[in-house]
Amino acid sequence: MIVLCLVPLTAYPAIYTYIDDNGISHFTNIIPHGKNFRVVISDRIKYVVSRVFNNTAYDGIIERAAQLHGIDPNLIKAVMKAESNFNPNAMSHKGAQGLMQLMPDTARLMKVDNPFDPDDNIRGGTKYLKYLDETFGGNLDLMLAAYNAGPGRVKEYNMNIPPYEETRTYVQRVKSYYHSFKKN
């Protein structure tokens, strides 16, 4: 049984859906370029159970995204740890998707086509961190609060961490992971 948990699961093809100009829903296994589509079933089902604990599996992608957007790779990794525990198939009950748990609107804003694709998700999540960095003048607490609760909530509370226990806990947890990754 344990051996089976360490073997990759069989990969399933991705299934996408979109609505055409006539209002008809379509499902396809081919990315519908030029259309507003959703991923129904991810092609990343091959996620390996042992990778949950492997925080180095995405280091190359993280490093490229960090250099592209000028964000500390340890911060990207800390957000990934807090958001998905490095599970590329993670999906929250609120609809956040992938390694960096991008909400569909955020993914679209950051031009992420497939939030379950590690390259696409990390690039988009890092781009979003850069946007938050610029929006909140490099204030790490406000950046993380905005990543969790949304930038509008941080602004609504006069540029302070919103008084939500989930958000306050999230900020502290990510900072703890961040400092831990910086030491290694």
- Based on the residue annotation, tell me whether 83 is a catalytic residue of this protein: yes
Separation of alpha carbons 115 and 107, rounded Å: 7
Separation of alpha carbons 12 and 46, rounded Å: 8
> 83, 156, 165, 166: which is the annotated catalytic residue?
83
**Of 4, 28, 5, the residue nearest 16 (C-alpha):** 28
- Per DSSP, what are the bridge partners of residue 27? 17
- Per DSSP, what are the bridge partners of residue 86? none
Separation of alpha carbons 177 and 162, rounded Å: 21
Separation of alpha carbons 89 and 98, rounded Å: 5
Beta-carbon count within 10 A of 92 CB: 11
Active site residues: 83
